Structure 1
């Protein structure tokens, strides 16, 4: 492998075992959250519209309880610490790219942050009655998907001539990124879409699987 490998890794349902946002909606939001999620998967709402609508269902006064619930419930996927160590040993950049929000991502990743090169995610505005998402990483001129936190824009910022770009993810929020990646390591919904669209990919269950895939890619 002549190019430098850079990894763009999703957070919810990838680094963590389950989707933290969905768990939070089940606990704190009224029942219409399910319709919003379905509209996102049916592509009737953009990711930005859908995620914004989900968090607007939750009063700002419940934010502290929401954060505590997510942080206490989150389980890190097996092998994550080993994968970070592997990336450091192999001089591979590891970036977290998430459509989640910093108020729960930061505390969960705190034990690992020294081994993570950057975290791209959303922030929030708590000055109104409900939680408002702030979008510091919008779509560039090449993306029309209205992603919210645009993973494909971040991926495009890395020169194709210099970098071999690997996406690790599981859900609809990772699909546009996978379309712009050199290779995708996928599970769940994203794996089905990679198969359907004939995107170059491998599957994973744990981050030990990801180590095996990256080792294989390095030998290409």
Structure 2
């Protein structure tokens, strides 16, 4: 039986050229953020704890400056617009699942990816310091305190019959990559895929991702079946 492809894509450092949370911290946070970042990367503290405490260092009064900074600083990776057009024209299920914050993820993807296809965290500016809320926390199948738990989101979207394609770059993508049938990886995640022996392809831009997906046998079979079914309806 032909499997339906399901494409899950990270945002920071994947859709965008840089990690927007790291950029924000470098620009606005006191030096304490560095130890938290190192703790997350070494996995000595959870992503949820580390990122929550990082943003807790920033006054809520910075909201407008933070938003303006990210919108000016962030660059969309080459080929992403064409890639979104490709998945849309072929009815390939595609979702952005991000450990980033809604105040910059949604504006940067506005007019590109529908909001209902975006999963990310929520930053609250109601108190003196920024407080992060986690609408997509770990389900009973994960105990890693991921924050935005990509494996948990995948389990909500998938019935285990799909051919799962993961696109990512960082420590927040490792657990999702372990669930994938094919992972497009760069930077930290690429090293992890190699070390863990996961089926993967490296990428620098979304032209490479598009080409790679088009050449996956399982995707080719699904597209062919879809095309044959469309022709029968004519």
Q: Which residue of 1 aligns with 2:137?
A: 138
Give the TM-score normalised by structure 2.
Answer: 0.90
Q: State the partner residue of 1:216.
A: 215
Change (3 A) 1:27 1:188: same
The structure 1 segments of at least 4 consecutive aligned residues displaced by more than 2 Å after TM superposition are none
Distance 2:128 2:186 in 1: 36
Shift of 1:47: 0.4
Report what 1:164 is aligned to. Answer: 163
Aligned to 2:224: none
2:63 aligned with 1:63, yes or no? yes
Whether the aligned pair in 2 keeps the contact of 1:71 and 1:104 (CA below 8 Å) is yes
CA deviation vs aligned residue, 1:163-219 (integer Å, no higher than 9, x gap): 111110000011111111121100000000000000111110000000111111123
Count of paired positions:
218
SS in structure 2 of the partner of residue 112 of structure 1: coil
Give 3-state SS (helix, strand or coil) of 2:176's partner: helix
Equivalent residue runs for 1:194-209 within 5 Å: 194-209=193-208
Mapped to 2, the partners of 1:127 and 1:101 lie a distance apart of: 15
Instruction: Indicate the SS of the match to 2:111.
Output: helix
Output aligned runs, 1:1-220, within 5 Å.
Answer: 2-114=2-114, 118-157=117-156, 158-161=158-161, 163-217=162-216, 218-219=219-220
Higher alpha-carbon Rg: 2
TM-score, structure 1 normalization: 0.96
SS at match of 2:112: helix
Q: How far apart in 2 are the matches of 1:69 and 1:199?
A: 36
* Cα shift at 1:111: 2.7
Q: Any idea what SS the aligned residue of 1:113 has?
A: coil
* Gapped regions of structure 1 (runs ≥ 5): none
Q: Kindly state the Cα deviation for residue 113 of structure 1 after the two structures are TM-superposed.
A: 2.6
CA distance in 2 between counterparts of 1:37 and 1:185 reads: 24
> Are the aligned partners of 1:139 and 1:147 in contact in 2 as well (CA < 8 Å)?
yes
Alpha-carbon shift at residue 89 of structure 1 (Å): 1.9
Instruction: Give structure 2 stretches of 5+ with no counterpart.
Output: 222-234
